[in-house]
Amino acid sequence: MKFGIAATVSASLVFLSSPAMADEVTVLAGDLPPMVNQDGTGREAEIISAVLGQCGHTAVFVVQPFTRHWQSFESGTGDAVSTVPVGMPTSGTQTQSYVSYQNGVSYLTSSEREAATLSDLDGWNIVAFEGASNIIPGLSGSTEAFKTYREMADQKTQSKLLYGKRVDGILGDGMLFAEFARQLQEAGASAGVDASQPIEFRAIFEPSPYAMSFRDPAMAAEFDRCFAELEAAGTIADINTKWTDKYRDSLEGNYMSY
């Protein structure tokens, strides 16, 4: 953990049988801008905060590298963990899906390639996020058809590989890639690559749903109830649309229905 959370965790354990009294909920989250930023903002973080707020709680985010946050939760840290693939075994009680990522392929427009399905990537040099082959449905059985395939945790480096034409495509969520591309563009010449090159994003996979896992089953039930209330009120759709609009130039109409 990067923050001092021992007191928060201890308090949550004391009130384990009475979730309504647990004002602060320590949420372990992956470092996935713009879904979850280091400061606890972002598309996914805003949804979690809104839902817990609807339940009368406050989210306190502890942000770690993606997948490490799952390991920390398994080791006993935190009250809840986010971005858990639906059905993936974890400690605690899993909620219903509260957010979906739209994975696809991003590639340079200048490559004159086109990708409408996964099979269109046969013969490509592909890079993906760490754990992608276990998370993206249908990917694990298709990687042998790629010319090369590798996974890495540093998604900014992935973007540099694409802009530097060292790979043909990046597999991952379109909004995440758009954010890293924005950061490289903002860095200008110091980025070491020409990040002004136009990019195409194609949503060649079904959206990937994610759930929360809570140590306290009552908290998981609360979360589902409060999420349903905000979804019915249109709040969840408003949050998703607001964040998608920030990257509309890159995503166009390829990010689910947002």
Whether the Cβ atoms of residue 12 and residue 25 lie closer than 8 Å to each other: yes
List, for residues 17-44, the tens digit of each pLDDT value. Answer: 344 445 899 999 999 999 999 999 999 9
Domain 6-100+207-251 matching CATH 3.40.190.10: the answer reads yes
| DSSP string across 6-27 | HHHHHHHHHTTT-GGG--EEEE
CA distance 11 to 7: 6
Given a cut of 60, whether residue 112 has pLDDT beyond it is yes
CA distance 114 to 99: 28
Phi-psi region of 206 (alpha: psi -120 to 50; beta: other; left: phi over 0): beta
What is the amino acid identity at position 199? I
List, for residues 123-164, the tens digit of each pLDDT value. Answer: 999 999 988 998 898 899 999 999 999 999 888 899 999 999
* Residue range(s) occupied by CATH 3.40.190.10 in the chain: 6-100+207-251, 103-202
Mean pLDDT of the chain: 91
∠ CA 167-170-171, nearest 5°, is 145
Q: Is 78 exposed, middle or buried (0-12, 13-18, 19+ CB in 10 A)?
A: buried
Q: For residue 121, what pLDDT is reported?
A: 98
List, for residues 233-251, the tens digit of each pLDDT value. Answer: 999 999 999 999 999 988 9
Average pLDDT estimate for 73-80:
97
Give the pLDDT band of residue 100 (cuts 50, 70, 90). very high
Helix (H) or strand (E) segment spanning residue 227: helix 217-233
| CATH classification number, 103-202, choose in 3.40.190.10, 3.10.20.30, 3.40.50.720, 3.40.640.10 | 3.40.190.10
Token readout for 126 is: 């592909």
List, for residues 156-208, the tens digit of each pLDDT value. Answer: 899 999 999 999 999 999 999 999 999 999 999 999 999 999 999 999 999 99
Q: For residue 153, what pLDDT is reported?
A: 85
Q: For residue 135, what pLDDT is reported?
A: 87
Whether the Cβ atoms of residue 250 and residue 198 lie closer than 8 Å to each other: no
* pTM as predicted: 0.87
Q: For residue 238, what pLDDT is reported?
A: 98
Half-sphere exposure of 11 (CA within 13 A, CB side): 11
3-state secondary structure of 217: helix
Q: For residue 19, what pLDDT is reported?
A: 44
Average pLDDT estimate for 107-124:
96
What are the strands, taking DSSP E only, across the chain?
A: 24-30, 58-64, 80-85, 93-94, 99-101, 103-108, 125-129, 148-152, 169-173, 199-202, 208-214
Given a cut of 50, whether residue 54 has pLDDT beyond it is yes
Q: For residue 22, what pLDDT is reported?
A: 56
